[in-house]
Homo-oligomer: A and B are copies of this chain.
Amino acid sequence: MNNAHIRRFIGTPEAVILADGDYPQHPLPLHYLDSVPVIACCDGAANAHIAKGRRPSLIIGDGDSVLPEHRAAYADILYIEREQESNDLSKAVALLVSRNIRNILILGATGKREDHTLANISLLMNYHRRQIRTLMLTDYGLFAPFSNIARWQSPVGSRVSVFNFGAKNLVSRGLEYPLYDLEEWWQGTLNTTSAPEAEVSADGDFLLYFALGGR
């Protein structure tokens, strides 16, 4: 998808969560970092964000990774959660939901340790099932969770991958390679759109990944 299509798909997030993976470099995630009014930084991500000359609205985590000077300077927006049952992303989502924010764009959630990347991606489905809209935008693509049906517009030839989260009867329209009931993560990757509107339908939940790029 091109940037305009991705922006239309994302719409207007109420808040950004900046996780502590790779700090965004692509103009599109940076646009949201500079325009969304609430930027909730997961722990160490606050250091990177401040180092880039930006200011977090909230800092959430177990607090161990926030630099001591920031911990003092940002004490009024620092939320320390020491419990170990959830990761920093989950803590950030919980804090935003407690403020009635349920339309969230997650940035910085990939890169660095790959086990964190996998956890963060799968949490999207978790939030989706709780009626919290979380999309994950990286320097390379957009992850979006769906139930039963996904329909989207994008230039013909846009690259898309489908990850099944237990759904049955997967069917596609407007994709070059027809879908089936994917059992392994690699099976739904590297598809492309063959029509300006494409559709995936299924009984259950799945995740789409739209690659950023010219198409």
Q: How far is the CA of A163 from the CA of B114 in the complex (A)?
A: 12
Determine the residue in chain B with the shortest Cβ distance to A109: B114
CB distance from A53 to the nearest CB of B (A): 26
B-chain residues with CB within 8 Å of residue A186 when the two chains form the complex: 87, 118-120, 122-123, 126
Interface residues of A, dominant DSSP: mixed
Q: How many residues on the A side are at the interface (Cβ–Cβ under 8 A)?
A: 31
CB distance from A213 to the nearest CB of B (A): 9
Copies in the complex: 2
Q: Does A31 contact B (CB under 8 A)?
A: no
Q: Does A168 contact B (CB under 8 A)?
A: no
Q: Does A185 contact B (CB under 8 A)?
A: yes
Question: Contact: B87 with A113, CB < 8 Å?
Answer: no
Task: Provide the A177-192 mask, 1 if CB < 8 A to any CB of B, else 0.
Answer: 0000000111001100
